[in-house]
């Protein structure tokens, strides 16, 4: 099948590559010539495991191409995926300008029946706006009543985890498709053919109306964000009452009605989805005269949780950090990605720098993106920027630092050389935002260890003392 993907960001590029991998003829278009140049020269503008290999195979087979030519892209695909960004507006609502611009281009250059697929995460009602934008362009061309240029707008939200997106796409647990317009039968048949290879073992496609499909994506991310904030909120109480949040997690996660996924306490969620999708759903509720009180609390908890490690540092080392240097392991919002959007590291580093500290930071894959992001974050604080050092290895970050702060749970941080760590740090102190280690083990090693929602165990020659 001939497929057009509008947008070569995270969702668009993974979608296009995976659809080309199973044999489709895919045309990816983007208004950013830099991205297209990278892709046309064999590069990949994002970090996602498995994606470079698929792109190399599909490029070599001639099943995927990249261009900035909007007209050719519209003419190419019978199915047009809109996979552009929907960043939060000032009030938290999703900004649909890029979605609607893509829709207008489809109407402007449409050369036959098209299925327009909203792949971007969009609020309920977006399909109606997309339909209207396309119809207006067709009418401007005098084709408003043309049977040949009819179209159907479909909602097909993505459920891709960064760091595992290729596997999620190729082995989906569900495929949600919303169709309810008058040309829905034609659209349904095309979508059935497109996703047929993913349904051979058993049917994974859930058909529903468009509004429900749009809502489903937001509801899914809101639920996962709620689980994270729930555990983070409990973790702070656990510390106060002397409980261990890791033991609590195991205790409640063993209940099959609850499960273990997204129950890890930490220093707050980030990324491209949870923060903006929770905000957008809260704003949609407000616009419709309703309050999503649970999700408002989810946002508040997550905002405060990003300061928890800083508060622990201040309590241990004082408010004035002018003569302190901190090693920071992990900058991306999660492992297996270079995504720095809403990453906890940004808030933590900014807070430490504002108190006069020096930060030596390392991430296995996000260094280039971190350099770009911190330059923007600290553009108005040149003195703070001078005290931020992005270094080449985790060991280099430790050298001469007063303490280690762990922000992202990369595998290479899970079993470090603790002997080297102690010798490299001025004082053997770890502030762990991801609970990678056991407090008792750290005490035995003589490391002053502060985790999230876990007891602080002081080393004693005769016994460990929990404080």
Which residues are tagged catalytic?
273
262, burial (CB in 10 Å: exposed 0-12, middle 13-18, buried 19+):
middle
| Cα distance between residue 343 and residue 116, in whole Å | 33
389, burial (CB in 10 Å: exposed 0-12, middle 13-18, buried 19+):
middle
| Cα distance between residue 230 and residue 238, in whole Å | 12
Order of strands, sheet of 2-6, starting from the edge strand that comes earlier in the sequence:
64-67, 25-29, 2-6, 79-82, 114-118, 151-155, 175-178, 205-208
Residues 6 or more apart whose CB falls under 8 angstroms from that of 53 comprise none
Torsion angle defined by CA atoms of residues 40, 42, 48 and 54, in that order, rounded to the nearest 10 degrees:
100
Identify which of 195, 197, 219 has the alpha carbon closest to the alpha carbon of residue 207.
195
Identify which of 221, 207, 191 has the alpha carbon closest to the alpha carbon of residue 86.
221
Contact (Cβ atoms closer than 8 angstroms) between residue 379 and residue 389: no
| Cα distance between residue 456 and residue 446, in whole Å | 12
Contact (Cβ atoms closer than 8 angstroms) between residue 390 and residue 371: yes
């Amino acid at each position: 099948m001939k497929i057009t993907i509008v947008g070569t960001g995270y969702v668009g590029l993974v979608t296009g590559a995976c659809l080309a991998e199973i044999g489709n003829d895919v045309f990816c278009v983007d208004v950013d010539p830099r991205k297209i140049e990278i892709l046309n020269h064999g590069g990949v503008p994002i970090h996602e495991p498995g994606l470079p290999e698929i792109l190399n195979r599909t490029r070599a087979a001639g099943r995927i191409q990249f261009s900035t030519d909007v007209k050719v892209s519209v003419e190419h695909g019978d199915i047009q995926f809109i996979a552009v960004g929907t960043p939060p507006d000032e009030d938290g609502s999703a900004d649909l300008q890029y979605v609607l611009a893509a829709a207008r281009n489809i109407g402007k250059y449409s050369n036959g029946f098209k299925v327009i697929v909203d792949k971007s995460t969009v609020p309920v009602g977006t399909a109606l706006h997309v339909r209207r934008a396309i119809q207006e362009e067709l009418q401007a061309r005098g084709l408003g009543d043309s049977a040949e240029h009819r179209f159907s707008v479909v909602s097909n939200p993505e459920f891709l985890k960064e760091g595992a997106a290729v596997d999620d796409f190729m082995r989906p647990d569900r495929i949600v498709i919303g169709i309810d317009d008058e040309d829905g039968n034609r659209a349904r048949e095309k979508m059935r053919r497109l996703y047929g290879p993913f349904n051979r073992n058993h049917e994974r496609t859930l058909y529903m109306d468009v509004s429900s499909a749009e809502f489903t994506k937001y509801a899914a991310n809101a639920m996962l964000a709620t689980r994270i904030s729930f555990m983070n909120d409990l973790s702070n109480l656990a510390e106060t009452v002397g409980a261990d949040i890791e033991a609590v997690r195991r205790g409640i996660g063993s209940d099959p009605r609850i499960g273990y996924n997204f129950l890890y306490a930490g220093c707050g969620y980030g990324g491209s989805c949870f923060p903006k999708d929770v905000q957008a759903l809260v704003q949609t509720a407000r616009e419709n005269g309703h309050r999503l009180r649970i999700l408002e609390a989810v946002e508040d908890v997550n905002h405060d949780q990003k300061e928890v490690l800083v508060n622990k540092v201040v309590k241990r080392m004082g408010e004035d950090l002018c003569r302190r240097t901190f090693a920071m392991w992990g900058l991306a919002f999660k492992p297996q990605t270079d995504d720095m959007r809403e990453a906890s590291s940004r808030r933590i580093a900014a807070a430490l720098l504002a108190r006069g500290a020096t930060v030596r930071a390392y991430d296995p894959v996000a260094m280039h993106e971190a350099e770009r992001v911190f330059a923007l974050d600290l553009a108005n604080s040149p003195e703070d920027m001078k005290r931020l050092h992005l270094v080449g290895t985790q060991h280099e970050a430790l050298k001469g630092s007063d303490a280690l702060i762990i922000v992202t749970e990369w595998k290479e941080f899970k079993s470090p050389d603790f002997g080297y760590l102690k010798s490299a740090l001025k004082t053997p102190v770890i502030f762990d935002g991801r609970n990678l280690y056991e407090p008792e083990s750290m005490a035995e090693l003589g490391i002053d260890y502060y985790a999230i929602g876990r007891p602080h165990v002081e080393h004693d020659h005769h016994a460990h003392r929990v404080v």
